[in-house]
Amino acid sequence: MSYEEPLDGSYGVVDAFPKDFGYGVEEPDMEESSASPDSKPRILLMGLRRSGKSSIQKVVFHKMSPNETLFLESTNKIYKDDISDSSFVNFQIWDFPGQVDFFDPTFDYEMIFRGTGALIFVIDAQDDYVEALGRLHLTVSRAYRVNPEINFEVFIHKVDGLSDDHKIETQRDIHQRANDDLADASLEKLHLSFYLTSIYDHSIFEAFSKVVQKLIPQLPTLENLLNIFISNSGIEKAFLFDVVSKIYIATDSSPVDMQSYELCCDMIDVVIDVSCIYGLREDGGGSAYDKESLAIIKLNNTTVLYLKEVTKFLALVCILREESFERKGLIDYNFHCFRKAIHEVFEVGSSTQRVGMLQASPPSSSLASLKASTLNGTPRSVV
Ligand SMILES: Nc1nc2c(ncn2[C@@H]2O[C@H](COP(=O)(O)OP(=O)(O)OP(=O)(O)O)[C@@H](O)[C@H]2O)c(=O)[nH]1
């Protein structure tokens, strides 16, 4: 669902902003009823004109192909995109028009920043970025004064046009100058995170994944569950994906290499495409992704990709060696326990959220029960 807000300063002030992000496991309607669209926590996309804000939003959340963004018109209204209908992550993305004087007195920027979880500032790395750095400083320092809890994320964007050396040099320079500006303003506590991004490869999905992960209070629990799952199943790498956006909301604690991530993204595309073509009913009904969704792809280098539905919006995608896959029964059993634990985590999350406290620690039984259940499965040495 998306809608636009006219730039006439007529923002309705919403009294209460939930500070935590909510998640729908199976019951998105419950989330809908508990929060009006305007009161949902938000991620702001800001930056100068033509820096690439709308393109990022369209490519990541609306499956627009990067080439089509060439024809995007300049945004002249705040574009609010509520992605919670189709995605696990229950937030709104506000795309700000670049040319707007954000600090015009008719803007209630306090209201805007108060309900914000993350502010993404997009800098066009192919352009002269001096003006962008000035605007970045102005924006983050204002926002920090209103709400120091905001995560400040800087996307050094359009790096597809730069050589590897140039990319690193640009990042170093922007990092240095932005932090110098903050130090001059005695804002050393304000932390900026930097990412090199482009809509022409997976870097934009990776960066968005990291932004979203910081907003998920249950992240340590999810990582723990994934660690236990992979170590007891002989799996090399596992990602928990939001299927629609291909954002990974968690992975095990081994380092993420871009190739594995890309491979898993490609697998989601293949599964959804095949399912759309051959999986729907003849009248076009049904869903391309549901409880039955499961795919196994064997590559020619003894690697196996394994995808399985976890919740309405989430899929587990794993990379493992062929020889580990011989114990498919064990993997399936462990997956069953993992899935149950994930459901428990978010059921507890949504019930505590209603009383205003999202649970960051594991629910009493989920980790313990997963450990116990995998140990009850066929024992095997951890790879
Ligand atoms: N090379 C390259 N071009 C990009 C990238 N992202 C966006 N663009 C191009 O940048 C131009 C501007 O993109 P928009 O998304 O309209 O920029 P915006 O920041 O929303 O602009 P305003 O609405 O005017 O604020 C478009 O022609 C995009 O195709 C990228 O990663 N690499």
Give the DSSP H or E segment for 131: helix 130-146
pLDDT for the residue 351: 54
**What pLDDT digit, counting tens, does each position of 30-48 carry?**
333 344 555 567 899 999 9
Average pLDDT over residues 99-128: 83
Paired tokens of 372: 């116990």
* Interacting residues of 381 by C-beta distance below 8 A, sequence separation 6+: none
Q: ipTM for the complex?
A: 0.98
Please give the distance, rounded to the nearest whole angstrom, from the Cα atom of residue 94 to the centre of ligand 1.
16
Closest CA to 137 of 124, 150, 121, 114: 121
CA–CA separation, 98 and 139 (whole Å): 12
Mind listing the pLDDT tens digit for each residue in 254-268? Answer: 999 888 999 999 999
* DSSP structure string for 37-91: GGGS-EEEEEESTTSSHHHHHHHHHH---GGGGGGPPPP-SEEEEE-TTTSSEE-
Mean pLDDT of 321-343: 90
How confident is the model over 200-247, as pLDDT tens digits?
Answer: 999 999 999 999 899 888 899 999 999 999 999 999 999 999 888 888
Question: Do residues 229 and 334 make contact, with C-beta atoms less than 8 angstroms apart?
Answer: yes
pLDDT at 381 exceeding the cut of 50? no
Minimum-distance ligand 1 atom for the alpha carbon of 69: 29
Pocket (CB within 6 angstroms of ligand 1): 47, 49-55, 69-70, 72, 74-75, 97-98, 157-158, 160-161, 198-200
Quote the ligand 1 centre to 92 CA distance (angstroms): 20
Contacts of 347 (CB under 8 A, 6+ apart): 25, 363
CA–CA distance, 199 with 64 (Å, rounded to integer)? 10
pLDDT (0 to 100) of residue 102? 61
Range picked from 138-142, 173-177, 289-293 for highest mean pLDDT: 173-177
The pair phi, psi for residue 375, each rounded to 5°, is: -70, -30
Q: How far apart are CA 364 and CA 207, in angstroms?
A: 32
Pocket test for ligand 1, best of 57, 58, 72, 94 (most atoms within 8 A of CB): 72
Contacts of 135 (CB under 8 A, 6+ apart): 47, 48, 121
Q: What is the pLDDT of residue 84?
A: 63
Which pLDDT score is estimated for 380? 33
Say if residue 199's pLDDT is above 90.
yes
| pLDDT single digits (tens) 133-160 | 999 998 999 899 999 999 999 999 999 9
Coil/strand/helix, residue 192: strand
pLDDT digits (tens, 9 = 90+) for 43-92: 999 999 899 999 998 998 888 999 999 988 887 777 787 776 666 767 78
Task: For tokens 């795919």, name the residue.
Answer: 295
Q: How far is CA 331 from CA 304, 313, 328, 352, in A?
A: 13, 21, 5, 31
